[in-house]
Amino acid sequence: MSASARLALLVLALLLGTGAARAIETHRFPAPGSAAVTLSLHAATDIAAMRPLIEDFQATRPDVAIVYTEYVTAELFERMRVACEGAGGVDLVLSSSVDQLLKLVNDGCAEKLGLATTGLPRWTRWRDELFGFTFEPAVIVYNRDAVRPEDVRRTRAELIDLLRADPERYAGRIGTYDVTSSGIGYLFSAYDARAGAVFGRVMEALGRARVVLSCCTTDILDALAAGRLAIGYNLLGSYAVAAVRAGAPLRVVIPRDYTLVLSRAIFVPKRAPHAEAARAFVAYLLSARGQARARETSFAFGFDGNTVPEADGPALPPASAILRPIEISPELLAIQDRAKRARLLGDWRSAVGAPVDAGAR
């Protein structure tokens, strides 16, 4: 298998976007020992990223079989809204769209787990019900071939200057999420907007450079790897690093002015059929063993904020001034507010202009 084919597979596998076309897939992880319980895990995260963790968990709990049902985030959200009303038969819900998960938990969907004293930062958990377990910075990605090293910019202001100085050079070669279709994109842009006025100018500069919008991280990384795009903005760092590791000619830059950090989260719904085993799985993800395994296999960054060789940027220790975690707290309800969403999308549209689908090229 060629490197690009592997990359395509991986990126496909890691897809997180809210692409409406994505169908529900089911994966079965039989118990290594004699099965006592079968956990039903509903996730909006690709199976390839979770597989190593699931298998490592089963090494500690050979009696647990897991049925992994994969959704796109919006579908998972809708599915769970319904499930929460009655008995859904779901044991675990896992997604990167933490605003959606928080809304579900706020509506009384989750069970308390008694895991409030883990080593992870306070902002990763809420009500002892919803737990973030990954540390995923939003990064800027450059194609090494398409962007001269001296053009690599490490703050948003510098990026704006680059685009202003020579608007035509990168016109049509910058990609980012279409926030109307990407949950991650919406979440990042909303927090960018909250972080300061600079984001408005970024949007404006991107719009002037005829930014290419895409539903999904995969598509953007794919286009970057292929050289169709030169710069990708606000992409999930863990996926970008995975692409670099898979051989893509990409330079991953962690912004030095401020860095948004997302924590993928999981909860156990009320009336979960196998609450004990489900809790054990969450506990595993939060444990030192689970964290180490996640960094080795799927999610390159850790909560200590240490630098990663494949990424260009500062360390992000908990006390870092530039660290902007997307806190799992009632603040996320603002993101989920329908009126706010409507306004943010309106603002975004007017700044960026008409969306262009990168995949359409």
Partner 1 sequence: MIASGGLSLYRRVTGLVAAVMAVTGIGLGVVAASYARGAADDAYDRLMVAAALQIAESVYTQDGRLLADPPFSAFETLALAPDDRVFYAVAGPDGAVLTGYDDLPGAVRVDPAGAGSAVGNGTFRGVPVRVAAARRYIPDAATPGWVRVALAQTNEARGALARDLTVKALALLAVMMLLGFLAALVAVRLALAPLARVERTMCERDPKDLAPLAIETPREIGALVGAINGFTTRLSRHQAVLQRFVAEASHQIRTPLAALSSQVEMLAWSETGTGPEAEERRARLTRIRARTRELARLTNQLLDHAMVSHRIESVPFSPVDLSELGRQVLRDAASSAVGSLSAPPDLDLAFEGPEAPVMVLGDAISLREALGNLVGNALKHGARARLEIAVRDLGGVGEIAVIDDGPGIPPEDRERVTRPFEGGPGRGERGEGAQKGAGLGLSIASDVVAAHGGRLAFVTLADGRFAVTLTIPAAAAPARAA
Strands in 37-44's sheet, in edge-to-edge order, are 25-29, 64-70, 37-44, 92-95, 265-267, 130-132, 125-126
Decide whether 47 or 345 has the Cβ nearer to partner 1.
Answer: 345
Size of the site for partner 1 (CB under 8 A): 22
Under rule CB under 8 A, residue 340 binds partner 1: yes
Write down the least CB distance from residue 116 to partner 1, Å: 9
- Of 23, 165, 288, 338, which lies in the binding site for partner 1, with binding defined by CB under 8 A? 338
Decide whether 49 or 260 has the Cβ nearer to partner 1.
Answer: 260
Decide whether 126 or 281 has the Cβ nearer to partner 1.
Answer: 126
In a 3-state reduction of DSSP, which class is residue 281? helix
Under rule CB under 8 A, residue 194 binds partner 1: yes
Q: Please, is 150 exposed, middle or buried when counting C-beta atoms within 10 Å of its C-beta (0-12, 13-18, 19+)?
A: exposed
- Of residues 49 through 78, those in contact with partner 1 by CB under 8 A are none
Residues 79-108 as x/- pattern, contact with partner 1 by CB under 8 A: --------------------------xxxx
Residue 354: how many CB atoms within 10 A of its CB? 8
Write down the least CB distance from residue 122 to partner 1, Å: 8
Write down the least CB distance from residue 108 to partner 1, Å: 6
- Of 127, 169, 210, 349, which lies in the binding site for partner 1, with binding defined by CB under 8 A? 127
Write down the least CB distance from residue 105 to partner 1, Å: 8
- 227's tokens: 């050289």
Distances (CA, A) of 233 to 193, 205, 208, 209: 14, 12, 15, 13
Q: Do residues 160 and 201 lie in contact, with contact meaning Cβ atoms separated by under 8 Å? A: yes
- 233's tokens: 């903005």
Decide whether 157 or 333 has the Cβ nearer to partner 1.
Answer: 333
Three-state SS string across 145-189, please? Answer: CCCCHHHCCCCHHHHHHHHHHCCCCCCCCEEEECCCCCHHHHHHH
How far apart CA 292 and CA 302 sit, in angstroms, is 8
Decide whether 190 or 242 has the Cβ nearer to partner 1.
Answer: 190
- 70's tokens: 């994969």
Write down the least CB distance from residue 194 to partner 1, Å: 5
Under rule CB under 8 A, residue 270 binds partner 1: no
Under rule CB under 8 A, residue 24 binds partner 1: no
Under rule CB under 8 A, residue 361 binds partner 1: no
Q: What are the residues facing 323 on neighbouring strands? A: 259
Write down the least CB distance from residue 107 to partner 1, Å: 7
Decide whether 27 or 270 has the Cβ nearer to partner 1.
Answer: 270
Write down the least CB distance from residue 124 to partner 1, Å: 12
Decide whether 127 or 256 has the Cβ nearer to partner 1.
Answer: 127
How far apart CA 138 and CA 200 sit, in angstroms, is 17
Helices 156-165 and 198-208: crossing angle, nearest 10°? 30
Q: Report the sign of the C-alpha dihedral through residues 168, 172, 173, 179, in that order.
A: positive
Under rule CB under 8 A, residue 331 binds partner 1: yes
| Binding residues for partner 1 (CB under 8 A) | 105-108, 122, 126-128, 194, 327, 329-334, 337-340, 342-343
